[in-house]
Structure 1
Amino acid sequence: MTTAEPRESAPQGPVVRTAAGAVRGCRADGLDVFRGIPFAEPPVGAARFGAPRPARAWDGVREAYVFGPPPPQEAIFQGMRGALDAPTGDDWLTLNVWTPEADPESRRPVMVWIYGGAYKLGHAGSPGYDAQHLARAGDLVVVTFNYRVGIEGFARIDGAPANRGLLDQVAALEWVRENITAFGGDPGQITVFGESAGAGSIAALLAMPSAHGLFRRAITQSVPGTFFSDELARDIATEIASGAGLPPTAAALSTVDPRRLTSAGEALSARMRQYEDRWGRAAPAVTPFSPVVDGEVLPCTPWPALQAGAASEVELLVGHNRDEWRLFLVMAGGPERIDEERAAWALRTFGPGPDGERAYRTAFPDAGPSELYERVQTDWLFNRPSLNLAEAQVAGGGRAHVYELTWPAPGYGGLLGACHGLDIPLLFGTYEADLGQLLFAGTGVPAEAEALGALFRTSWTAFARTGDPGWPAYDTVSRPTQVLDVEPAVRPYPEEVSRRLWEGQEFPALPLLK
């Protein structure tokens, strides 16, 4: 089933002509808003598992009032409010625009959001990504878009290009470059920003030749360090396909409805620990999907690419949250379930070098099992990859600004700390939607959260406009870092102990062990 064909609409809102045809949005609270604009053809039928194709042109005026349907994905988190509040259909590759004025003469800076979700979840129409506050705060244009996730977007299968989700992102950015002037945006002032898998996607885009020149600035929030080697990705895809009783080929997997095929990836997610002897650090992950270093779409991991100057002309803002892994720890039952055995496993599995357990125990002599378990996974998965991205950019002749969020989420009785995802409701001002429901559950919105959220929006939009978020650029001597808390301050990088533990450690593509 596909979405309805475009049709003539009563003149209720602003009309903008894109390269493919005219769209009509709505005027709401001082903004022109357009939803569900196709930037590529639906990737179904003969286009299934292929690179994105430009959207076909249409006649008349297409209504752009409703978000496009989400890409096929696992059912996790669908109980959160708004997660299912979207149309069904095959037209997954759509985007949305918030603009103060759809006037080609305006030439405002443009911010393009790339959502996270472990490379297997996400929808640009989720209430947590409502961009109205950002667009108003910065007097700029904000774009959000869907891209393929899970098997459709990232499974490494024969007969299909690698990293189709990343190729969708490139196609969306090409659409922005070609069409955003008509919405009041400046194609020479494009900033991409994203969190978690969205930040990892941006890190990949910085290293991809096909994305070169499509954006001027980039903001990466909590970059995950997981990139798969081609061999590992193919082995994982083989296991996923075998769960559906099929070979790992585009032709075979195309015979299964995309919404049913997601169950094969979900089933593997639940049993990945069984493959630790083959997949190593990838096995304990919550997802069997990551960007693949295939040598063509993505030639190498982001860190050596940036160090070699691949994105030196891009201004970078990068940071992480102090207690990233705490979210997953609390959701899995809480710190009390972590004993010495589980802590030792985590330290041996994720710690730096051949003796990571001893290094962490020596560096944090007073830490108990749950703190060590959480700390090493926070460092390995998010914090060290994020800081290393900034340091690689500086080494390659570029400029980077660094931040750390240390303000704790008030939900769950304060157990969550400054956990993964907390920056999203702060940035978007969406405290009662998606993750905000969990992180602020039953607490209301404290005044300090409102103030910190306003600072996020001021800093992010200032960076999009000028390249300066309001604090000094990072260097490897004084390491200036914006610490975001009740009393924000610029300080030397706060996690110096962990930084030293990981100094000199690289984040190569995860290998297939045997």
Structure 2
Amino acid sequence: MTIPGPVQSAEPVVRTAGGAVRGRTEDGLAVFRGIPFAQPPVGDARFAAPRRPRPWDGIREAYAFGPPPPQDFGAAGTAGPPDVPGGDDWLTVNVWTPAPDPAAHRPVMVWIYGGAYKLGHSGNPAYDARRIAADGDLVVVTLNYRVGMEGFAHIEDAPANRGLLDQVAALVWVQENIAAFGGDPDQVTIFGESAGAGSVAALLAMPRAAGLFRRAVAQSVPGTFFSTELAADIGTALAAELGLSPTVADLSGVAPDQLVKAGQALAPKMPGNVARWGRAAPTVTPYAPVVDGEFLPVTPWQALASGAARDIELMTGHNRDENRLFTMMAGKLGQIGEDRASTALRLYAPGGESAYRAAFPDATANDLYEHVQTDWLFAMPSLHLAEAQLAGGGRAHVYELTWPAPAFGGALGACHALDVPLLFGTFQADLAQLQFGGAAPSEEALALSARFRAAWTAFARTGDPGWPAYDAQRHLVRVFDAEPTVAPYPEETSRRLWEGHEFTALPLVGPEA
């Protein structure tokens, strides 16, 4: 379906619980940006659970995305791109709707971005939701949540998982307000990729999120959830980069950009601390959801297997060659040797290094490295989430993306985050520039992109994305390639290697190095 052309009309106004907001009509949709769902988490609200937004008088202009939360924008520094707005009103939502008609009762999709729990914001052009809203004739919401030390670091006297609590607050806002935008609060689907999928998995397990959504899509779920002990130890190391203790008293007076720098300073030191931080160390990501026993009582896999989300319809999957994005970004694509492959296999492979080598006898060292990294971090956590849902009496649909990114002669394969531009149709934004080489998408890519959106929006509307639910006998999944098929799960060798493996909270494993 093509996006309708611009329609000249009066700017749409919607009354929310906090006050009236004025959006814009763009490409046939009413679009509202930067609506606060919580107070700015600064001052005495810093490191606290989100607080309800203060109401306003008159009509608030909802034309621009809210400022992103403080985050690690990478080598360019902490300021981010020049068009990113400033300010501390980080906790905002954005809405795309075909019409803000309270009688419409359209399904609602709520996007949760990824970014290793240390970066990401809803104003990223990669998450322009107009094609999803238009093609699916539904309402799409995107949201900001705190990342990095603000949202996920263990800080004494502060609640754990503040970034997840922000997401819960945004979902409460959806329940209270989305009907005025034409959405049905009883037909909410949350969806997210990478750390966003980890967040979706966590929300499935969080008592505070119960009743706030009906369906969930988890794209490339990371298996990294921290134990309280590991989170506390890494939190201490983060604060030590600033010469401080990991307490609200010590950190509340530190400027947000300095906390970002603490994370940037610690990350490259992490791989040398495997003896203490185990599997978490090589990820160079000092943040993850914490199984704190309160907001997140157990891991998502434990929660789903016990039936905690049996009434939630679930779709989950991953990309075949997830890890190639990271080896490419490290300048090592196709260049991993025996020593590094053996180290990874010893650290991650269930059954040890010999099990993987026996299972993939013809694989090169580089291929073994890519296999085990993809399997432990994304592929098997995603598959096991579906299997846990089945064990708990629920239903799940599974997919795998095998279509290779066009850049680098296809060497990236179906790498991490390739599903994002395919889903949103945003081929010139963010990582898609790298994955597509900056070129216009081919007809094949556009056709696959349309299939992605059709499946996701059908699932949001009916709970059926267009292929059979996963079961423990046939293991049928949708394989997204140039010609999508339904087939037994393609990674059967890995599935068997990881059968029976439990994704537990990552522990603090040893004495200080």
The answer, yes or no, to whether TM exceeds 0.5 is yes
Cα distance in 1 for partners of 2:478, 2:505 equals 30
- Per mean C-alpha deviation after superposition, the further-off stretch among 440-449 and 291-300 is 440-449
Cα distance in 2 for partners of 1:33, 1:133 equals 12
Cα distance in 2 for partners of 1:312, 1:123 equals 30
SS of the residue 1:449 aligns to:
helix
SS of the residue 1:337 aligns to:
coil
Cα distance in 2 for partners of 1:363, 1:419 equals 22
SS of the residue 1:234 aligns to:
helix
SS of the residue 1:290 aligns to:
coil
Q: Which residue of 1 aligns with 2:63?
A: 65
Render the CA deviation track for 1:116-138: whole Å, top value 9, x for unaligned.
00000001000000000000010
Q: Which residue, out of 205, 211, 215, partners 2:213?
A: 215
Render the CA deviation track for 1:249-280: whole Å, top value 9, x for unaligned.
01111111112211001111111012111000
1:113 deviates by 0.1
CA 498–166 in structure 1, closer or farther in 2 if over 3 Å, else same: same
Q: Which residue, out of 468, 474, 483, partners 1:487?
A: 483
Matched to 2:316, the amino acid is V
**Residues 428 and 438, structure 2, Cα contact 8 Å, conserved in 1:** no
Render the CA deviation track for 1:37-86: whole Å, top value 9, x for unaligned.
00000000000000000000000000000000000001217599x94422
**Residues 190 and 216, structure 1, Cα contact 8 Å, conserved in 2:** yes
Q: Are 1:75 and 2:55 matched, yes or no? A: no
Q: Which residue, out of 87, 90, 98, partners 2:88?
A: 90
Render the CA deviation track for 1:287-336: whole Å, top value 9, x for unaligned.
10000001001001000110010000000000000000010011111334
CA 100–78 in structure 1, closer or farther in 2 if over 3 Å, else same: farther
Matched to 1:469, the amino acid is P
1:447 deviates by 1.0
Structure 2 counterparts to residues 72-221 of structure 1, below 5 A: 72-76=70-74, 83-221=81-219
Q: Which residue of 1 aligns with 2:380?
A: 384
Cα distance in 1 for partners of 2:399, 2:442 equals 22
**Residues 244 and 251, structure 2, Cα contact 8 Å, conserved in 1:** yes
Q: Which residue of 2 aligns with 1:314?
A: 312
CA 373–168 in structure 1, closer or farther in 2 if over 3 Å, else same: same
**Residues 118 and 286, structure 1, Cα contact 8 Å, conserved in 2:** no
1:513 deviates by 1.1
Matched to 1:340, the amino acid is E
Cα distance in 1 for partners of 2:75, 2:421 equals 16
Cα distance in 1 for partners of 2:266, 2:490 equals 37
Q: Which residue of 1 aligns with 2:272?
A: 274
Unaligned 5+ segments in structure 2 are 1-8
1:158 deviates by 0.3
Q: Which residue of 2 aligns with 1:47?
A: 45
Q: Which residue of 1 aligns with 2:504?
A: 508
Cα distance in 1 for partners of 2:438, 2:154 equals 42
1:413 deviates by 2.3
Q: Which residue of 2 aligns with 1:8?
A: none
CA 84–202 in structure 1, closer or farther in 2 if over 3 Å, else same: farther
Cα distance in 2 for partners of 1:19, 1:158 equals 33
SS of the residue 1:383 aligns to:
helix
Cα distance in 1 for partners of 2:410, 2:38 equals 43
Matched to 1:427, the amino acid is L
Q: Are 1:283 and 2:275 matched, yes or no? A: no
SS of the residue 1:335 aligns to:
coil
Q: Are 1:437 and 2:437 matched, yes or no? A: no
- Pairwise CA RMSD of aligned residues? 1.3
1:214 deviates by 0.4
Q: Which residue of 1 aligns with 2:14?
A: 16
**Residues 432 and 438, structure 2, Cα contact 8 Å, conserved in 1:** no
Render the CA deviation track for 1:344-380: whole Å, top value 9, x for unaligned.
0010011113xx2100000000111110011100000
| TM-score, structure 2 as length reference | 0.96
Cα distance in 2 for partners of 1:469, 1:426 equals 16
Cα distance in 1 for partners of 2:134, 2:75 equals 29
Q: Which residue, out of 470, 479, 495, partners 1:499?
A: 495
1:216 deviates by 0.1
Cα distance in 1 for partners of 2:210, 2:169 equals 12
| TM-score, structure 1 as length reference | 0.96
1:146 deviates by 0.2
Q: Are 1:453 and 2:457 matched, yes or no? A: no
**Residues 77 and 83, structure 1, Cα contact 8 Å, conserved in 2:** no
CA 64–337 in structure 1, closer or farther in 2 if over 3 Å, else same: same
Matched to 2:66, the amino acid is G
Render the CA deviation track for 1:156-182: whole Å, top value 9, x for unaligned.
110100000000000000000000000
Render the CA deviation track for 1:435-470: whole Å, top value 9, x for unaligned.
111110144211111000000000000000000000
Cα distance in 2 for partners of 1:84, 1:158 equals 35
Q: Which residue, out of 31, 34, 37, partners 1:36?
A: 34
Cα distance in 1 for partners of 2:438, 2:199 equals 33
CA 459–293 in structure 1, closer or farther in 2 if over 3 Å, else same: same
1:337 deviates by 3.2
CA 12–69 in structure 1, closer or farther in 2 if over 3 Å, else same: farther
Q: Paired residues, what number? A: 501
Matched to 2:421, the amino acid is P
Q: Which residue, out of 294, 297, 320, partners 1:296?
A: 294
Structure 2 counterparts to residues 378-417 of structure 1, below 5 A: 378-417=374-413
**Residues 271 and 284, structure 2, Cα contact 8 Å, conserved in 1:** no
Cα distance in 2 for partners of 1:289, 1:347 equals 23
Cα distance in 2 for partners of 1:347, 1:365 equals 14
**Residues 33 and 93, structure 2, Cα contact 8 Å, conserved in 1:** yes
Cα distance in 2 for partners of 1:54, 1:412 equals 47
Cα distance in 1 for partners of 2:198, 2:142 equals 16
Cα distance in 2 for partners of 1:50, 1:135 equals 33
Q: Which residue of 2 aligns with 1:7?
A: none
**Residues 202 and 300, structure 2, Cα contact 8 Å, conserved in 1:** yes
Q: Which residue, out of 459, 480, 495, partners 1:463?
A: 459
Cα distance in 2 for partners of 1:130, 1:78 equals 23
**Residues 404 and 483, structure 1, Cα contact 8 Å, conserved in 2:** yes
Render the CA deviation track for 1:68-106: whole Å, top value 9, x for unaligned.
0000001217599x9442210000000100000011111
CA 513–392 in structure 1, closer or farther in 2 if over 3 Å, else same: same
- Per mean C-alpha deviation after superposition, the further-off stretch among 498-507 and 325-334 is 325-334
CA 64–373 in structure 1, closer or farther in 2 if over 3 Å, else same: same
